Structure 1
């Protein structure tokens, strides 16, 4: 396994984890919205929905675009940047989940 394939695997794991975390947030915020009907909570659900869609598309691309993967791997900087962005997003979503859970 090459360095770039390892980075791509890290991005895949981060995207999958983001999907799990965002789904959890949407469920929690959905229950909260049914109780209090806050527009902020509804906005949070919509925001999380867009992030969820972005991560589903990213994971789909990482997993099922075999013809695009060699092209992606030919641009090492792009692979590194995408991996860093996915992992940063994971930390951000995990922070939101932690704060929401408290």
Structure 2
């Protein structure tokens, strides 16, 4: 397993955890206030959870994808890992703002 694949897996796991914490807060806020904006945030986070769980299944269990990832060079590896990492940064900032 390549280092970038491990980093991508870690970022996807981090994203699911961050999104879970955001869903918890936004779900509580929606139950209290019934604001459509909060409902939009819940839908956004739910779709992102599904996306990151799909990434985790590809990174962890789909051998065809893992082989493709590891044999297609640093460009593909860095791009996919970078996307997951950027999501982690953005979600981390969003979680920080939400929880403070």
The answer, yes or no, to whether TM exceeds 0.5 is yes
Could you tell me which runs of 5 or more consecutive residues in structure 1 were left unpaired when the two chains were aligned: none
RMSD: 1.0
Structure 1's consecutive aligned runs of 4 or more residues displaced over 4 angstroms after TM superposition are none
Match in the other structure for 1:13: 10
Q: Residue 49 of structure 1 corresponds to which residue in structure 2?
A: 46
Do residues 89 (structure 1) and 80 (structure 2) align? Answer: no
TM-score (norm 2): 0.94
- Matched residue, 2:64: 67
Gapped runs of 5+ residues in structure 2?
none
Residue 86 (structure 1) shift: 0.4
Count of aligned residue pairs for this structure pair: 99
Deviations, residues 16-49 of structure 1 (Å, cap 9, x unaligned) = 0100010110011000101111100000000001
For 1:99, the equivalent position in structure 2 comes to: 97
SS in 1 for 2:68: helix
CA shift, 1:67, in A, is: 2.8
**Out of 15, 21, 26, which is 2:23 matched to?**
26
TM (normalized to structure 1)? 0.93
